[in-house]
Structure 1
Amino acid sequence: MASSGVSAADRLRRAAESRKLVRIKRSPRNADRVNGFVVAVGSKWALIADTGDGGFFEGLVAIRVKDVVKVKNDSSFEERFARTRPEWPPTAPADLDLDTTAGLLRGMSAISPLLAIEQERRFHSRMTWIGVLYEVTRRWLWLREVRPDATWRKRPLGYKLRRITKVSVSDRYLTALAAIAGTAPTH
């Protein structure tokens, strides 16, 4: 599925139409690979039903279309197993805005109170921040973050929207937080 002359958006759309498990390689070089089923593609963002080891569904991941380097079909047992799960077939939430970063963030926070963002170009290693959306403006995301010890920062921290390369939501964030410290706050 990675032929020259075909845009990343077209490769992602083909993957969505085929309902095949794919492995998506992204730039920059330190960006992690995304495995799952493409469920929707917009002008800026693509939404993936993320799968983990064994083909279990692990939430939704949005990646920038322009960062996609390669989309490769994965015909392993994980695809066949995913099709037996109660979550099959994965679908995109209604009215999720994949054409603007601000709209995407608002929509993802409506799916789950905790979201994770990455800014892979900002650092030489992959870093993830998890928190509750506090505010989104034209250029900034204000996130009230949870620290590694499951305590909450008192003030929201700001991130430039144009630097966000990946956004994800997953029940595993809520489960981990509840196990360590209680429930997630609202803003």
Structure 2
Amino acid sequence: MSNIIELKTTGQRAQLREAQQKQTLIRLWREDLEHGSFCGYVGGVGQEFFLLWVVGDGITYDGMYIMRHRDISELEAPDKHHIFFEKALALKHILPRPPRGFPLDNIREVIQAAGAQAPVIGVHVDSEDESEVCYIGRLASMDDDGFYMQELSPDAEWMREVSFFGWDEVSTVSIEDSYAQALLAVAGTAPPLEQSDAGVSRI
């Protein structure tokens, strides 16, 4: 069974690399994690993860998502409506600009790079019912078992204590998505952490 999964993943990885090289607009589904789909341009392909520069439903840039290869249930390259999307993006002067050399081989590298790339990141965690739960906040520190994040509440309020996330909990990391950007704009600069967290080493 593991061989079948590996062959499927390897084939998808090759498709994603080709889409990146040709700057092809793609669409993908992850039926075990969400009902909808993602549309966008591949910005990088690693051993475990790939980066997608996402085009939102309003034909706008909607952030970058770093996802696991194994979560893809269907991949369409190119997206069947790619000609329309490309013309609409050109009219809006929207040009995909994913970061170069973003590390995508393991989750520790992904989190560290995401925290350096943006003031807040979205951390999507596998929940017990197999759907994702997203936490948004500022990367505070990392250790061998996981990382600590100063979270933003859905009301755009900064938490004063850090939350811990294990490396193996994370399924997706998002950067610069519109919801996270709106939370940060309302919340403003993060306040200092409570004294009890002073012992947590910073990255």
Q: TM-score, normalised by structure 2?
A: 0.78
Tell me the distance in 1 between the aligned counterparts of 2:169 and 2:24. Answer: 29
Partners of 1:123 and 1:141 lie apart in 2 by 23
Q: State, as a whole percentage, how many aligned pairs show the same letter.
A: 25
In the alignment, is the contact (CA less than 8 A) between 1:116 and 1:167 conserved in 2? yes
Q: Secondary structure at the match of 1:48?
A: strand
Cα displacement (A) at 1:30: 3.7
Which one has a bigger Cα radius of gyration? 2
CA distance in 2, matches of 1:127, 1:98: 21
In structure 1, the partner of 2:116 is 110
2:108 & 2:192 partners in 1: Cα distance? 19
Unaligned segments of structure 2, at least 5 residues: 1-6, 194-203
Structure with greater helix share of residues: 2
Does the 8 A contact of 2:146 with 2:165 survive in 1?
yes
Match of 1:176 among 140, 164, 183: 183
Question: What is the SS of the residue equivalent to 1:104?
Answer: helix
Q: 2:84 aligned with 1:80, yes or no?
A: no
Q: Partners in 1 of 2:146 and 2:117 — Cα distance?
A: 20
Give the 5 Å matches for 1:42-121. Answer: 42-72=46-76, 73-76=78-81, 77-88=84-95, 90-121=96-127
Q: Partner letter of residue 174 of structure 1?
A: Q
How far off its partner does 1:116 sit?
A: 0.3
Would the aligned equivalents of 1:139 and 1:161 in 2 still touch at CA under 8 Å? yes
> Shift of the alpha carbon at 1:84?
4.2
**Equivalent residue, structure 2, for 1:130:** 136
Q: Give the match's secondary structure for 1:127.
A: strand
Q: Shift of the alpha carbon at 1:122? A: 4.0
1:67 partner amino acid: D
In structure 2, give the amino acid aligned to 1:81. A
State the secondary structure of the residue aligned to 1:53: coil
Give the secondary-structure state (helix, strand or coil) at the position aligned to 2:115.
Answer: helix
Distance 1:84 1:40, change over 3 A: farther
* Aligned alpha-carbon RMSD (Å): 2.4
**Alpha-carbon separation, structure 2, partners of 1:67 and 1:177:** 28
Q: Secondary structure at the match of 2:41?
A: strand
Number of equivalent positions = 182
Q: Is the 8 A contact 2:44 2:101 kept in 1?
A: no
